[in-house]
Structure 1
Amino acid sequence: MPLLSEDAKGVYVITVTPFTESGEVDWDSVDRMVDFYEEKGVTGLTILGQLGEAPKLTSEESRKIAERVIARAHVPVVVGVSAPGLAPMRELADSVMGMGAAGVMVAPPWTLKTDDQVYAFYASVAEALGKTPWVLQDYPLTTNVTIAPKVIDRIVRDLPTCVMLKHEDWPGLAKIGALRATSERGETRRISILCGNGGLFLPEEMRRGADGAMTGFCYPEMMVGVVENFARGDENRAHDIFDAYLPLARYEQQQGIGLASRKYVLAKRGVIASPTLRKPGASLSKADIADVENLLARQARRLTEIGA
């Protein structure tokens, strides 16, 4: 599988981690999940992210999941390797790259407070990872680390193994525009920008210069449809598809039960056997399930109306 590059485009879906009802990794569901995402047309997979419940996994489980997914996938796989220290980060990165991963993703630790600290951290990451291509995960709503466009530009100029930005700032549309402006002026390389936040702003992000999505949603075909139609120049069709799925995507972005609702729908679709989150984790109430079922019914009717 080719290595991740700054030309990457499309949808690199953030995968869930399937668990049995007793909280063990469900390996059969892992296989089924990989097949499902590929059948829906994703460009790549991103595993061991925050919504993949990576912090709840042991180091051995993380390696085994990476090995299983990489061996089964026919698309590039990016692996989240964020860790409190560089040594475990490098250890996991070396391991998954040896398995055939396309690249790795690194989020900043919450302790970073200044621009210089952010730059110094990623300079250390680049040194520790050597030739491994990596994704800068910019998700201040979770990490509490704000990375200004000028800092990202500096990282891109100085650290050639940074090939992608996972843009997950909110509001962040102006940031995409600022980053694209500096590359268009020739002041920095043009790297890939894939966006997160459940795809809630995907059409606007594409219009500002994003190359696609790197996020999760129980209907990855929404993101695939939006990105493919933008690539064809059919923004109206992209918006029609997006609008049909938006109510459910919005529901999925709730703190606490968002991931539980995503897993509920994936289980309902037959992708994973159980919607279980590993403890500590939320579960849906009867009222929550009624909400989701109502949204699914309305979504189905709307998709029929637009012929999608």
Structure 2
Amino acid sequence: MIEKFKGVGVALVTPFTEQGTVDVGAFNRLVDYTTRGGVDYLVIHGTTGEAATTTEKEKAEFLELLFQANIKKLPVVYGLGGNNTAALINEVQQLNLEGVDALLSAGPAYSLPTQEGIFQHYTALADASPKPLILYNVPARTARNISAETTLRLAEHENIIGIKEASKDLNQCMEIARHQSESFLLISGDDMLTIPMISIGGAGVISVLANALPDIFCKMVTNALNGKYEEAQQALFKVLELNSLLYCEGNPVGVKQVLKELNICEPYVRLPLVKASNSLGADLKQALQKLS
């Protein structure tokens, strides 16, 4: 089971038209582009997919579109999170998850639970889920870190198979890697920390940048996983300038602007996000041109 989630998972953006509807043609181009670029699995309805501002109906339609576009039958991870544990359990039990391989669930935001609360939240969700669960630690958004101790406690649950770690705390990641079992995956949630994460036992990354540069990024991760760190480092440094610009005005604002430059989708996002400013667009274009 866990082997299918090693390597690069792309956190797919949701392409929109100027009117705010899902751009089906652009989505098909994106899936084809990232698949041909070498990604190992597809992640939908995450932060990068603007899950917070898409409706339940759109999410269901988007999933069906993904199944149709996924001609290589890559594994699919479905993002599902919230701070109302009971409502989340009800949602996961009502969803049609046929064809989905795993769920990715961010820690509960806003409520500010203790570590015990986080543990019980995920335990309840994993007990109820018909699919394996990947934890998602992103304290910059949730205002609560999932500690290494809590992660390792949760890793003992038979239906919890890994964690997407976006705390930027390598000491915490090393503590997880030091004690994790072979049946638990440590996945980078920060593109630029992927190589260091792999070097301590990480399995790969769920990536934003792989939307725009799947070929470069997938080769980088493959080299790192094969111990070719010098080659991986060269690729990392090559994309460093572009990556540093992607988050200046929020995610996925930057990567959608890059995808616009690549003629894959338009840069439209949903409020409260707004599309990239002219100055950021110019900087991103210049950084992208340096890669050609």
What TM-score, normalized to structure 2?
0.92
Look up the SS of the partner of 1:223 in the other structure: helix
What percent identity do the matched residue pairs reach? 24
Look up the SS of the partner of 2:78 in the other structure: strand
Q: Counterpart of 2:20 in structure 1: which amino acid?
A: G
Deviation of 1:99 (Å): 3.0
Query: 1:23 and 2:17 equivalent?
Result: no
Q: Is the 8 A contact 1:6 1:164 kept in 2?
A: no
Query: 1:224 and 2:243 equivalent?
Result: no
Matches within 5 A, 1:226-245: 226-245=220-239
Query: 1:107 and 2:106 equivalent?
Result: yes
Q: Counterpart of 1:248 in structure 2: which amino acid?
A: L
Task: Determine the C-alpha separation between the residues in 1 that align with 2:238 and 2:179.
Answer: 35
Look up the SS of the partner of 2:207 in the other structure: coil
Q: Counterpart of 1:260 in structure 2: which amino acid?
A: V
Deviation of 1:220 (Å): 2.4
Q: Is the 8 A contact 1:70 1:101 kept in 2?
A: no
1:194-227: CA deviations, max 9, x gaps? 1112x02121111121110102112122321111
Question: How has the CA–CA distance of structure 1 residues 6 and 126 changed in structure 2, closer, same or farther, with 3 Å as cutoff?
Answer: farther
Gaps of 5+ in 1: 301-308
Task: Determine the C-alpha separation between the residues in 1 that align with 2:25 and 2:85.
Answer: 32
Task: Determine the C-alpha separation between the residues in 1 that align with 2:250 and 2:104.
Answer: 25
Deviation of 1:10 (Å): 0.5
Task: Determine the C-alpha separation between the residues in 1 that align with 2:23 and 2:120.
Answer: 39
Task: Determine the C-alpha separation between the residues in 2 that align with 1:88 and 1:221.
Answer: 39
Task: Determine the C-alpha separation between the residues in 2 that align with 1:174 and 1:268.
Answer: 37
In the alignment, which residue of structure 1 is the partner of 2:268? 276
Deviation of 1:85 (Å): 3.1
Q: Is the 8 A contact 1:5 1:133 kept in 2?
A: no
Q: Is the 8 A contact 2:85 2:121 kept in 1?
A: no
What TM-score, normalized to structure 1?
0.87
CA RMSD of aligned residues (A): 1.9
Gaps of 5+ in 2: none
Q: Is the 8 A contact 1:156 1:189 kept in 2?
A: no
Q: Counterpart of 1:192 in structure 2: which amino acid?
A: L
Query: 1:260 and 2:257 equivalent?
Result: no
Q: Is the 8 A contact 2:48 2:251 kept in 1?
A: no
Task: Determine the C-alpha separation between the residues in 2 that align with 1:51 and 1:154.
Answer: 28
Query: 1:56 and 2:50 equivalent?
Result: no
Deviation of 1:264 (Å): 1.2
1:132-188: CA deviations, max 9, x gaps? 10110011111111111111111112x110011111112x211221112113xxxx5
Look up the SS of the partner of 1:160 in the other structure: coil
Q: Is the 8 A contact 2:11 2:46 kept in 1?
A: yes
Task: Determine the C-alpha separation between the residues in 1 that align with 2:237 and 2:255.
Answer: 18
Matches within 5 A, 1:93-242: 93-94=92-93, 98-110=97-109, 111-129=111-129, 131-157=130-156, 159-170=157-168, 172-183=169-180, 188=181, 190-197=183-190, 199-217=191-209, 218-242=212-236
Question: How has the CA–CA distance of structure 1 residues 245 and 166 changed in structure 2, closer, same or farther, with 3 Å as cutoff?
Answer: same
Q: Counterpart of 1:143 in structure 2: which amino acid?
A: T
